[in-house]
Amino acid sequence: GQNIDQPTEMTATEGAIVQINCTYQTSGFNGLFWYQQHAGEAPTFLSYNVLDGLEEKGRFSSFLSRSKGYSYLLLKELQMKDSASYLCAVRNTGGFKTIFGAGTRLFVKA
């Protein structure tokens, strides 16, 4: 079957670092994406990993281990505006279908 697991909710403090984990089991693998979704808005693209290792983009970094079926999104220097849901998504072989996790709701407190 195909499954993506993420924690449902996380809380962190402004200025801190938070790591959101994602584990997946899919029929084939052709890339992993992280999206941010604020309440009532559309998902917006954050990062893409297809090879093992860390991709860094400003305050956000994403890590992938294909052998472990594992990824994480690291958010540094948290800001209040980072309060949102973070969706992990995996594209299957052939590239046509992307499976989304249920998302992790991150609450950033002062």
Partner 1 sequence: DTAVSQTPKYLVTQMGNDKSIKCEQNLGHDTMYWYKQDSKKFLKIMFSYNNKELIINETVPNRFSPKSPDKAHLNLHINSLELGDSAVYFCASSQDVGGPRGTQYFGPGTRLTVL
Residues that bind partner 1 (CB under 8 A): 30-31, 33, 41-45, 48, 50, 85, 87, 89, 91, 94-100, 102-103
Rounded least distance, CB 94 to partner 1, Å:
8
- The tokens describing 37, both together, are 């979704």
Q: How far is the CB of 34 from partner 1 (least distance, A)?
A: 11
Q: Which is nearer to partner 1, 50 or 80 (CB)?
A: 50
The DSSP bridge pattern shows strands 60-65 and 53-57 to be antiparallel
Q: Residue 35 or 72: which CB sits closer to partner 1?
A: 35
Under 8 Å CB-to-CB from 18, ≥6 apart: which residues? 10, 12, 74, 75, 78, 106
| Alpha-carbon gap, residue 78 to 94, rounded angstroms | 36
Using the minimum distance from each CB to partner 1, give the nearer residue, 15 or 91: 91
